[in-house]
Amino acid sequence: MIDADRGRSPVASLMEKVARLREPATWPDGAHAVTAIETHMSWVFLTDRHAWKLKKPVRASQLDFRSLAARARFCHEEVRLNRRLAADVYLDAVPLTIDSDGRLRPNGAGEIVDWLVEMKRLPAERMLDRALLHGTATRADARRVAERLSAFYRSLAPARGGADLYRDGLRRTIDCNERALRRPMFEQPVEVVRAVCVLQRALLDAEAARFDARVRQGRIVEGHGDLRPEHVCIDAQIAIIDCLEFSRRLRTQDMADEIGFLALECERLGAPDFARALLDEYRAASGDAVDDALVHFYQSCRAMTRARLAAWHLREKAFRATPVWRDRARAYVALAQRHAGCCERLWTAASISAAAGP
């Protein structure tokens, strides 16, 4: 049992906590400076040797961090789940306390006012997104990442649930993406969005046997859930961080879907050769002879989901002042269209070949 809440917090607001956590004197590792980074769901504080994550008290469609108990629970879950792929990085979930003099301390004496995830700080230049942008990521790096992920997937039990349930989940995702991206406020190419989603549903129905086979083969697992280049460290030991700790459903996916998503993001960063190498090395390391068309299908669906998540920023006034998120969503829609087309062409060719016979 996690002792998450010892009473009402004397710290009035999240921003008061953030202001105090920006101060080097707050931290136990002799920090000379603190860099604070805000994301949609958290604040991350970088000290000399550590990274500390403070979850925001927010609610969204898949999560609810509004209570202190919930933040405690998911800090512990984040550590537990991420140790699967980054055991040396995720050190602990620690209480943030306030003493009688009003000083905040991680794991200090006094009343618990929040919870933090304590991590070892990774070298920024060895994160895969940086390496791709600087042209320093190699085929050997792709092999090491693929081997690490293949070993991880082999350690996982197949997810529960039949093929119908799996395909229904994919269909719900397609429907959700279409509904969101056709909203006028997001300024997306509505006819392209509609056409891509219609094609995705048609492919899912026409090739149902391929998806059913993935379920029978045990390829659907509780994986990472958010496998992007910025979450992969290609240092001496591969470390993969920031899994989706708040939703088992979102973590549960086809191994090929997950590795395909990482390849998609590498492609988006201008590294298509690395993306292809990653998929080839995954097949070699895992023995999973997944066909290119299925990977393209998954990449198309992932690109539409990323478009939706980018567009959702436009619900906030601060993000509507620039075209950044609108344009990012449009770029993902274009990627989704391209990969859906690749999937359709490959599966059509396979059907024609099969019909023609030997």
Delimit the domains of the chain by residue range. Answer: 14-121, 128-356
Grade residue 100 by pLDDT with cuts at 50, 70 and 90: confident
Which token pair is 317? 């006034």
Name the nearest CA neighbour of 90 among 113, 121, 131, 63.
121
CA 328 to chain centre: 17
Which of 2-16, 52-66, 304-318 has the lowest average pLDDT? 2-16
> Rounded to whole angstroms, how far apart are CA atoms 329 and 309?
8
Q: Cα dist. 52→16, 49, 77, 82, 277 in Å?
A: 16, 10, 15, 14, 34
Q: Is the pLDDT of residue 13 over 90?
A: no
Question: Could you give the count of Cα atoms lying within 13 Å of 137 in the half-sphere of its Cβ?
Answer: 31
On average, the pLDDT of the chain sits at 93
Q: Is the pLDDT of residue 11 over 60?
A: no
104 close to 21: Cβ distance less than 8 angstroms? yes
This prediction's pTM: 0.92
> Rounded to whole angstroms, how far apart are CA atoms 306 and 296?
15
Torsion sign (Cα): 182, 186, 187, 193 = negative
Domains 14-121 and 128-356 equal at CATH topology level: no
Which token pair is 34? 């603190």
17 close to 96: Cβ distance less than 8 angstroms? yes
Q: Quick one: fold of 128-356?
A: Aminoglycoside 3'-phosphotransferase; Chain: A, domain 2 (3.90.1200)
Grade residue 322 by pLDDT with cuts at 50, 70 and 90: confident
pLDDT single digits (tens) 130-188: 999 999 999 999 999 999 999 999 999 999 999 999 999 999 999 999 999 999 999 99
Q: Could you give the angle at which helices 255-268 and 292-312 cross, rounded to 10 degrees?
A: 60
What pLDDT is recorded for position 257? Answer: 99
What pLDDT is recorded for position 147? Answer: 98
Grade residue 358 by pLDDT with cuts at 50, 70 and 90: low
Q: How many CB atoms lie within 10 A of CB 172?
A: 10
More reliable by pLDDT, 189 or 320: 189
The domain 14-121 is classified under which CATH number: 3.30.70, 1.25.40, 3.30.200, 1.10.10? Answer: 3.30.200
Which token pair is 185? 């406020």
Question: Could you give the count of Cα atoms lying within 13 Å of 62 in the half-sphere of its Cβ?
Answer: 11
Which token pair is 251? 């973590």
What pLDDT is recorded for position 7? Answer: 41
Paired sense of beta strands 42-46 and 50-55, if any: antiparallel
Grade residue 1 by pLDDT with cuts at 50, 70 and 90: very low
What pLDDT is recorded for position 357? Answer: 65
pLDDT single digits (tens) 275-307: 999 999 999 999 999 999 999 999 999 999 999
pLDDT single digits (tens) 216-258: 999 999 999 999 999 999 999 999 999 999 999 999 999 999 9
What pLDDT is recorded for position 6? Answer: 42
Q: Is the pLDDT of residue 2 over 50?
A: no
User: DSSP for 282-337?
Assistant: HHHHH-----HHHHHHHHHHHHHHHHHHHHHGGGSGGGGGSSHHHHHHHHHHHHHH
Q: Which residue has the tokens 């201008």?
A: 270
pLDDT single digits (tens) 28-44: 877 889 999 998 889 99
Grade residue 62 by pLDDT with cuts at 50, 70 and 90: confident
296 close to 258: Cβ distance less than 8 angstroms? no
Which token pair is 143? 């092999």
Question: Could you give the count of Cα atoms lying within 13 Å of 176 in the half-sphere of its Cβ?
Answer: 15
Q: How many CB atoms lie within 10 A of CB 188?
A: 23
What pLDDT is recorded for position 223? Answer: 97
Name the β-bridge partners of 94: 116
> Rounded to whole angstroms, how far apart are CA atoms 219 and 16?
46
Residue 121 Rama label (left phi>0; alpha psi -120 to 50; beta): beta
What pLDDT is recorded for position 332? Answer: 98
Question: In 3-state terms, what secondary structure has residue 145?
Answer: helix
Which token pair is 60? 């969204």
Q: How many CB atoms lie within 10 A of CB 67?
A: 12
